[in-house]
Amino acid sequence: DWSNRDGYGARVEVRRGKEMIEREHRCGQGYGSQNSAVMIVGLGDWEEVDEVIVRWPSGRKSIVSRVKQGEWLTVDERGGEERKPYRRDVKSKQKSLPGKAVFPLGPQSKARLTVWKGMATWCPACARYRPYFEHLKAMTQGLDVEFRGFPLDETEDREALVAYQNNYNLPYDLQTDLSMLDRKKAEVFLERWIGAAELPYPTSVVTNQRGEILWAGAGAPTVSELRRFLAAE
């Protein structure tokens, strides 16, 4: 038998010489939490590791040799692997934009905080995050926090987005009328901000009343982070 589809329970060993980093791929920890499908392992000053070993719940083992820092590695239990850059292979003159940068979609909302969820209708991970966004919304009710969704997939047209919104009780207001130009501006901004060649699904952004970006990353912010942002505004 093969492991579960999402690989939950798999143990990952990152080895370099006699040193090893070990992680477990978990669905989440605690009430209402949901981990990203992408496991990020910090390597410190290691530029390359000797091998990455995945021990699947089925008892099988996958071994990938010579993985470089910054590579996005996808391992298939049935055999095969895929490598692609997780970050652009360039050195930016500055690691972050000066001050608080304005998210391209940010000025469209005047709430104290706006949580933007970048998604796609076909994305299983985006669907799995819906209960967590419902939790965030419930925990910030009455605090002037808006939840909005925006499409990351440029191939999805307005009709597909409207149909998706009508079929599901989404915990966010899906921006079905965004122009392709606005979508592209948001995508390019986030790729630069996060430092990823391709954005993970879902990618979330938190902006303040002025549209300035307070948080951006894969998955979603925590309730504690939203409350901290509210207290600072």
Per-residue pLDDT of the chain in tens (233 residues, 90 and over written 9) = 888 878 888 999 999 999 999 988 888 766 666 677 788 888 888 889 999 999 999 999 999 999 988 888 899 988 888 888 776 544 433 333 445 789 999 999 999 999 999 999 999 999 999 999 999 999 999 999 999 999 999 889 999 999 999 999 999 999 999 999 999 999 999 988 888 888 889 999 999 999 999 999 999 999 999 999 999 88
Q: Where are the beta strands (DSSP E) in 69-174?
A: 71-75, 81-85, 113-119, 145-151, 173-174
CA distance readout (Å), 15 to 6, 18, 49, 78, 127: 23, 7, 6, 22, 34
Contact, 212 vs 106, CB < 8 A?
Answer: yes
Q: Is the overall model pTM greater than 0.85, yes or no? A: no
Domain spanning 106-232: CATH 3.40.30.10? yes
| Domain residue limits, the chain | 11-85, 106-232
Question: Which residues 6+ apart lie within 8 Å of 229 measured at CB?
Answer: 113, 206, 208, 214, 215
